């Protein structure tokens, strides 16, 4: 119980209207912006002149090492000066220091005293802390009625811890209030609208409520994911686990085991045992799936090899012969000054190619320079017409018919200037 109270305690700052000078405003804005050197420059003269609010801010800067070296002794010096002026914010801070034993001996009774003085002046931090002490019976007999009274006063002033505590009380139906999920959602949402660990816990709790649905709170996966994501991105472990659950089931988001694994891993790293189990489960599934993919690739490769071999066999069966047409000299002497045609008949269809098709434009499949290889089926007719335009000494055309083992079944050659070679198989 005591540990929970310490976790939700925070040092909250309240203001007295009579200290709002221009210099104080400038220091406070700098403090909120993290410009601590400027804040120190503005607060210190005011604090030296007895301004209680500035003295309180200086104490916080020394306690937390903001713009100065952390120094509890100096921090308590300024805090004491502010407390002596009955400054409510300083009283709340002093109560916090006594409760946690920071720079002073831990003393719950003294903490209670200063929280009460602060709360009676309307300081929301003092009210919140006093309410929690009554809730857990720390330094005072446990009294839920008084606890809720002070927590409500603080919550109405926007105290995040008080808002969260009321949300938890109504969620569980404890601390003297009836269980009411709609009221719990109201207070959780107010707490969730801020920043910090308490806000993250409220966001995570909202995620759980919308994911599972409760009386008066309809199930809404998308809303659940929205709240969980806000808390998860602030590294809150329960929300990270919740997002993993949403992604693995495809609730409120597209199902994605890789993203689920990411969130389960993050939560597992923070010690969440359920996330660790889910992480191991998903990694095993991934290992099995990867092995299956590898095996499927091997099978696909084998199927392709078999199919390619079958096609090659079918091609070999369909084309038991090939014609090899060669020019006996280079292209210059073979093609430009000749008039050579190839007439090829397959399945009663005749195609005529001239020399340019054969040796220059490579339109005849398998043709090169100056060799052309044509696959031939069982039945074919091939005729080569050679006319050298009356110019002797030009290259000769050689025609060979080979089987699939490259055995020459037929060979003939034209004269250098003219000739006809015909070969067929029916």
Question: Is a pLDDT exceeding 80 seen at residue 13?
Answer: no
Question: Is a pLDDT exceeding 80 seen at residue 86?
Answer: yes
Q: Which of 73, 70, 59, 72 is nearest to 31 (CA)?
A: 59
Structural domain contains residue 213: yes
Of residues 269 and 12, the one with the higher pLDDT is 269
What pLDDT, on a 0 to 100 scale, did the predictor assign at position 294? 93
Q: Are residues 361 and 311 in the same domain?
A: no
The beta-carbon contacts of 118-122 under 8 Å, at least 24 apart in sequence, are 118/14, 118/88, 118/89, 118/91, 118/92, 119/150, 119/153, 121/14, 121/86, 121/88, 121/91, 122/14, 122/88, 122/157
Domain stops at, among 318, 347, 378: 318
CATH number of residue 274's parent domain:
1.25.40.10
What pLDDT, on a 0 to 100 scale, did the predictor assign at position 372? 77
Q: What is the mean pLDDT of residues 329-345?
A: 59
Q: Full-prediction pTM beyond 0.95?
A: no
Q: What is the mean pLDDT of residues 132-139?
A: 95
Give dist(CA 406, CA 54) in Å, integer: 104
Round the average pLDDT of the chain to a whole number and report it.
86
Name the phi and psi angles at 344, rounded to 5.
-120, 125
Q: What is the pLDDT of residues 137-191, one digit of tens each?
A: 999 999 999 999 999 999 999 999 999 999 999 999 998 999 999 999 999 999 9
Q: Are residues 246 and 356 in the same domain?
A: no
Q: Are residues 229 and 336 in the same domain?
A: no
Q: What is the pLDDT of residues 278-297, one digit of tens each?
A: 999 999 999 999 999 999 99
- Lowest mean pLDDT across 61-65, 73-77, 246-250, 387-391: 387-391
Q: Are residues 213 and 309 in the same domain?
A: yes
Spatial CB neighbours of 401, under 8 Å, sequence gap ≥ 6: 321, 322, 323, 324, 376, 382, 408, 409, 410, 411, 423
Q: What is the pLDDT of residues 194-235, one digit of tens each?
A: 989 999 999 999 999 999 999 999 999 999 999 999 999 999
CB-count exposure of residue 340 (10 Å: 0-12, 13-18, 19+): buried
Q: Which of 333, 24, 14, 3 is nearest to 154 (CA)?
A: 14
Structure token digits, residue 31: 């403090």
Task: Count other Cβ atoms within 10 Å, centred on residue 397.
Answer: 26
Question: Is a pLDDT exceeding 50 seen at residue 16?
Answer: no
Q: What is the mean pLDDT of residues 332-351?
A: 66
Structural domain contains residue 104: no
Structural domain contains residue 406: yes
Are 123 and 114 within 8 A, CB to CB?
Answer: no
Structural domain contains residue 150: no
Band of pLDDT at residue 329, cut at 50, 70 and 90? low
Structural domain contains residue 43: no
Give dist(CA 372, CA 364) in Å, integer: 8
- Lowest mean pLDDT across 59-68, 207-216, 362-371, 392-401: 362-371
Give the chain's domain count. Answer: 2
Show the domain range for 296: 195-318
Name the phi and psi angles at 6, rounded to 5.
-65, -40
Band of pLDDT at residue 334, cut at 50, 70 and 90? low
Q: Are residues 411 and 366 in the same domain?
A: yes
Q: Are residues 335 and 257 in the same domain?
A: no
Domain stops at, among 273, 301, 318: 318
Q: Are residues 200 and 292 in the same domain?
A: yes
Q: Are residues 300 and 229 in the same domain?
A: yes
Structural domain contains residue 292: yes
Q: What is the mean pLDDT of residues 328-346?
A: 60
Give dist(CA 380, CA 392) in Å, integer: 31
Residue 160 CA: distances (Å) to CA of 68, 124, 183, 225, 310: 28, 10, 15, 22, 75
Q: Are residues 309 and 327 in the same domain?
A: no
Band of pLDDT at residue 338, cut at 50, 70 and 90? low
Q: Are residues 210 and 314 in the same domain?
A: yes
Structure token digits, residue 384: 């080569």
Q: Are residues 312 and 353 in the same domain?
A: no
Q: What is the pLDDT of residues 389-405, one digit of tens each?
A: 555 556 678 888 888 88
What pLDDT, on a 0 to 100 scale, did the predictor assign at position 351? 80
Structural domain contains residue 327: yes
Domain stops at, among 265, 285, 318: 318
Band of pLDDT at residue 260, cut at 50, 70 and 90? very high
Q: Are residues 258 and 294 in the same domain?
A: yes
What pLDDT, on a 0 to 100 scale, did the predictor assign at position 301? 93
Structural domain contains residue 204: yes
């Amino acid at each position: 119980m005591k540990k929970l109270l310490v976790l939700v305690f925070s040092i909250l700052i309240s203001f007295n209207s009579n200290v709002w000078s221009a210099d104080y405003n400038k220091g406070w804005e700098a403090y909120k912006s993290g410009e601590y050197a400027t804040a120190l420059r503005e607060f210190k003269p005011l604090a030296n002149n007895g301004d209680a609010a500035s003295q309180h801010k200086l104490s916080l800067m020394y306690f937390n090492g903001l713009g100065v070296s952390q120094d509890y002794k100096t921090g308590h010096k300024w805090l004491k000066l502010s407390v002596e002026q009955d400054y409510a914010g300083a009283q709340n801070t002093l109560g916090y220091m006594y409760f946690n034993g920071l720079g002073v001996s831990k003393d719950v009774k003294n903490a209670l005293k200063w929280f009460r003085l602060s709360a009676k002046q309307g300081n929301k931090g003092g009210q919140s802390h006093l309410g929690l002490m009554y809730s857990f019976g720390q330094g005072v007999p446990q009294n839920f009625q008084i606890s809720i009274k002070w927590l409500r006063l603080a919550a109405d002033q926007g105290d995040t811890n008080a808002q969260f505590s009321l949300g938890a009380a109504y969620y569980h139906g404890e601390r003297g209030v009836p269980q009411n999920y709609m009221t719990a959602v109201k207070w959780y949402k107010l707490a969730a609208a801020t920043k910090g660990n308490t806000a993250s816990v409220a966001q995570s709790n909202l995620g759980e409520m919308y994911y599972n649905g409760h009386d008066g709170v309809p199930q809404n996966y998308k809303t659940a994911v929205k709240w969980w994501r806000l808390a998860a991105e602030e590294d809150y472990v329960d929300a990270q686990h919740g997002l993993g659950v949403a992604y693995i089931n495809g609730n409120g988001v597209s199902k994605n085991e890789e993203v689920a694994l990411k969130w389960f891993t993050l939560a597992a790293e923070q010690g969440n045992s359920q996330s660790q189990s889910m992480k191991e489960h998903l990694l095993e599934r991934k290992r099995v799936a990867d092995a299956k993919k590898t095996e499927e690739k091997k099978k696909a490769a084998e199927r392709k090899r078999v199919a390619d071999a079958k096609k090659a066999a079918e091609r070999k069966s369909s084309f038991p012969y090939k014609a090899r047409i060669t020019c006996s000299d280079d292209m210059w002497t073979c093609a430009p000054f000749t008039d050579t045609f190839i007439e090829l008949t397959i399945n009663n269809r005749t195609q005529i190619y001239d020399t340019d098709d054969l040796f220059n434009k490579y339109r005849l499949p398998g043709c090169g320079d100056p060799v052309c290889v044509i696959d031939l089926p069982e039945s074919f007719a091939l005729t080569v017409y050679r006319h050298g335009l009356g110019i002797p000494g030009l290259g000769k055309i050689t025609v060979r018919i080979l089987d699939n083992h490259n055995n020459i079944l037929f060979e003939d050659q034209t004269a250098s200037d003219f000739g006809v070679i015909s070969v067929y198989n029916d």
